[in-house]
């Protein structure tokens, strides 16, 4: 059974995506609330709740097949503060700078000949262009300096779940590990390699480009569920808005967004839309709050609740009836691909923060079954090869 370390583990969504054919040998997060949720769902045996700056390589057992890191994105997100990744020398000055604490552990493991076979960094797509592309170059240089063959892809969770959620995945394979030819391509493709990623790659120094790999993955099967399919008939943790509150939302809409609602009413079908409140400038340049709705069968990207505007509202339209309420915690979990037996925190904000700050489970599962396990199986022999044969996994199995 392949082993993995899970850094910035949150509620264990990467673990859920890897499935029950993988064994977690170490997990870490600094957040007590997330740690409690992790323990409820996976047990406490592998988890260390502490600042990653305090973690020592001696706490990491053996030589893992995979090290997964979903490092903080606040300083890299387009909606964040723009402080960037920082450097190994000033890593404590930014939240996203905790990447360097993670990488110092990878460096220490390398010095002990215990480098993980595969290292994955997951983050927001803003990491591609933040700090004029210098953050991406720093990440690329870190992989190359530890002699990993690496490349990056952008995956949108809406391929698997009804949520628009693009994320960057930088995937490195240890230099002594053979990569199956079907996992690489000679050049980039538009599906996994958007223009800004290609542009950032082209700016990398030649020495770093020598370690670069253009990853190739199969396109997933058609998504089975739309936004309306994950909506609870009797939601827990939220209540329906009053008619006055719903009307206030409609009053905040521009003519374009109101037209979307009217079209949904005319259709006569039960329709669900996702609403975010945003600050926009009017024709006179004055800022005003707007409610923006989408009815394209997917939700907006879940975000951590830093204020009322970041909590997603749903609008249910059925004929002339229009109702609104906050997205429920369970609906948020479903949008991340978590099963309904996943135990969520009791408080609304905690639950929303947990799922909104995680990685989409089926995205991890797609990477695991189509890349990680193929790499490991290709390099295994004898009994190990048989154990690593790719099988249909159960994406989630709650710890007893």
pLDDT, block means (10 residues), the chain with 400 residues: 97 98 97 97 96 96 97 54 55 64 97 98 94 93 97 98 98 97 92 96 97 96 96 94 97 96 94 91 81 95 69 94 97 98 96 95 98 96 54 42
Answer yes or no: do 170 and 64 share one domain.
yes
Answer yes or no: do 213 and 247 share one domain.
no
Answer yes or no: do 200 and 234 share one domain.
no
pTM, to two decimals: 0.90
Answer yes or no: do 206 and 147 share one domain.
yes
The domain of 43 spans 3-223+359-387
Rounded to whole angstroms, the Cα distance separating 195 from 368 reads 25
Q: Tell me whether residue 69 is in a domain.
A: yes
Q: What pLDDT shows up at residue 81? A: 46
Tell me the HSE value of 140 on the side-chain side, using a 13 A CA sphere: 27
Q: Tell me whether residue 396 is in a domain.
A: no
Answer yes or no: do 31 and 165 share one domain.
yes
Instruction: Give the domain CATH number at 45.
Output: 3.40.50.150
Tell me whether residue 73 is one of the annotated catalytic residues. Answer: yes
Answer yes or no: do 9 and 157 share one domain.
yes
Q: Tell me whether residue 400 is in a domain.
A: no
Beta-strand pair 271-281/184-185: unpaired
Total domains, the chain? 2
Q: What pLDDT shows up at residue 249? A: 96
Q: What pLDDT shows up at residue 72? A: 81
Q: What pLDDT shows up at residue 308? A: 47
Answer yes or no: do 23 and 37 share one domain.
yes
Record the tokens describing residue 222, joined without a space.
């058609």
Answer yes or no: do 80 and 177 share one domain.
yes
Identified catalytic residue from 24, 63, 73, 301: 73
Q: Please give the torsion angle defined by the CA atoms of residues 183, 189, 193 and 197, in that order, rounded to the nearest 10 degrees.
A: 120
Q: What pLDDT shows up at residue 385? A: 54
Answer yes or no: do 323 and 365 share one domain.
no
Answer yes or no: do 240 and 378 share one domain.
no
Q: Tell me whether residue 310 is in a domain.
A: yes
């Amino acid at each position: 059974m392949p082993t993995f370390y899970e850094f910035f583990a949150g509620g264990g969504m990467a673990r859920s995506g890897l499935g029950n054919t993988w064994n977690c040998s170490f997990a870490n997060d600094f957040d007590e609330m997330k740690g409690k949720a992790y323990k409820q769902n996976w047990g406490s045996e592998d988890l260390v709740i502490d600042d990653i700056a305090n973690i020592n390589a001696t706490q990491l057992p053996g030589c893992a097949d995979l090290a997964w890191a979903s490092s903080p994105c606040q300083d890299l997100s387009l909606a964040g503060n723009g402080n960037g990744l920082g450097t190994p020398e000033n890593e404590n000055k930014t939240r996203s700078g905790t990447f360097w604490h993670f990488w110092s552990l990878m460096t220490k493991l390398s010095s002990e000949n215990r480098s993980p076979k595969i290292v994955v960094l997951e983050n927001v797509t803003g990491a591609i262009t933040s700090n004029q592309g210098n953050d991406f170059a720093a990440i690329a240089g870190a992989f190359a300096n530890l002699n990993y063959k690496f490349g990056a892809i952008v995956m949108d969770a809406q391929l698997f779940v009804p949520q628009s959620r693009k994320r960057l995945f930088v995937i490195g394979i240890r230099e002594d590990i053979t990569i199956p030819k079907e996992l690489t391509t000679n050049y980039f493709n538009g599906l996994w390699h958007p223009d800004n990623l290609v542009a950032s790659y082209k700016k990398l120094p030649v020495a770093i480009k020598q370690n670069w790999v253009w990853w190739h993955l199969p396109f997933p099967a058609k998504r089975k569920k739309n936004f309306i399919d994950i909506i609870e008939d009797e939601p827990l943790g939220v209540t329906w808005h009053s008619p006055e509150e719903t009307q206030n939302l409609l009053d905040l809409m521009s003519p374009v967004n109101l037209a979307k609602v009217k079209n949904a009413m005319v259709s006569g079908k039960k329709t669900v839309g996702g609403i975010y409140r945003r600050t926009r400038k009017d024709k006179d340049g004055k800022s005003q709050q707007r409610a923006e709705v989408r009815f394209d069968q997917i939700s907006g990207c879940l975000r951590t609740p830093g204020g009322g505007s970041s909590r997603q509202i749903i609008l249910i339209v059925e004929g002339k009836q229009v109702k609104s309420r906050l997205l429920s915690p369970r609906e948020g979990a479903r949008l991340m691909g978590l099963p309904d037996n996943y135990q969520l925190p009791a408080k609304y904000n905690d639950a929303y923060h947990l799922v909104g700050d995680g990685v989409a489970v089926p995205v991890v599962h797609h990477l695991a079954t189509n890349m990680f396990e193929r790499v490991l199986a290709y390099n295994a022999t004898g009994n190990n090869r048989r154990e690593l044969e790719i099988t249909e996994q159960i994406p989630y199995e709650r710890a007893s």
